Structure 1
Amino acid sequence: MANDMLSKRPARRARIVARHRPKWQRIVCDVRMRAAPRMRVMPAQASVCSHASHAYAAITPPDRNRPPSPTRHASGTDPPMTATPALLIVDMISTFDFPRGAPLRRAAIDIAPRLARLKRRVREQGGMCLYANDNTGAWRSDFAALVTLARASKAEPILDHLEPQPDDALILKPRHSAFHQTALHFILESRGIRRLLVTGVSTEACVLATALDARMLEIDVAVVADCVAASSAQRHRDGLSVLRHCDFPVVRASAALAVFDRG
């Protein structure tokens, strides 16, 4: 009898401890035991697991506090699909003060009037226009500051044609792709946009990287050949060659808005 009572004491103590644990710890333990009922947890491991669970609970907000999915309206339905493609303008707002920047600036100035005409056509058809730009201010400035810097540089002629308008979306990007660690995908999905025209600079770098990421995200994407540019004609041709080899639609501005309507 005495031996039976001694054998029951650890189990009774465990029940008392479990009853006074916070609810989230009881849930974690319950899930852990159901997932691996045969796994033995040593005291040191249990202590580590407890601390890790506590830290996770501290930094993870409860589900009820999370914002609704960006791809759904308040009614809970998916946003309506937008037929007109959005226009993405990559890295055209710049001082071009970097290696090979001078020839790239001249090429960007050359395509700016044509790109401005394409932007006007997209807006007339109700399409969205977005600017994605490298942050040359080392994350201590906003997009308006970049526009001011570009205005004060030799790239001012670009701004004469392509200065952002109040209803354009403005995105600062940390790397080549306009999708990498930015809100671009969020914005497109929240507006029901699944078609994207990519323009800007540089053809073989940021334009190419953005197009590849768009395809990975299952967005219909086309590159507008006469609205993208590079620091040399060879780099421009090489970039377009890679895009064509990967079966991206590469079209001229005159046919850009109809590219996705082709069978």
Structure 2
Amino acid sequence: MATTQHYLWAGGHLLLLLSSFLYLSSWALFRGPSAFWYKTSFLGALVSYAIVCHKSLGNPQPNATWIKRAVVDENVQYLLLALFWWTSKPIAITLIPYAIFSLFHALTFTRTTLMPQFLPPGPPATNGGAPTPHPLAKKLQVWVKANYDTAMKAVAFLELTIMARVFLGGIVFYNSLLTPIFYAHFLRQRYYQSAFTRNAITLVNERIEGYVRKPGTPPVAVQVWDTFKMLLSRWAGATIAPQQPGAGARAQ
């Protein structure tokens, strides 16, 4: 049976979904979206991720063991990132990865917790066996499983797009110079912990390599690209222990 904490977790994701829809729809239609909905979206994220972090890590402990566990926990990373966005100037695209996560969480919560309370179960698969889920719940489960990997691939590319956005935003002073530095560290963590992120970076690198090294490209472009990759590899080269999948972006 679902606990109050579980309902609060789901409520945070629902709040994020509804608020981000209102903000992003206004932004897409050039209606001057209200920063209130942006802040409310990440407030929902903070609630949900804080609950997951507490569930997996327990109360904060002033010792190295707890801190090391927290540093490599992807839920903590997304919680800290949500806190950063919540306190920063709104950037619409930053909502989309969180909204995608919340969509899958909300659908799973609906299937596993809400539907059994209102929809009758299906017939047992075998004589005397346990009842099967309602056909609607089964269809929802199939859809989630069929689209999960595609959605996570989209999130990985969106997170790279956000990096480009905040980097350019820092150059033209649209966002603070701290933003690309903070977000680059977040992506560094994701690279070591997410196969989707590694695959996205590999694909982007291949596309850029194909463009930079094609005949006719000025040699200076190749030199700049090689220097950038060398510096990036040195900065990101520290080993971070990979984490097993199953944290807040995928849990509950």
TM range (shorter): under 0.3
Higher relative strand content: 1
Higher relative helix content: 2
**TM-score under structure 2 length normalisation:** 0.21
In our comparison, the structure showing a higher alpha carbon Rg is: 1
**TM-score under structure 1 length normalisation:** 0.20
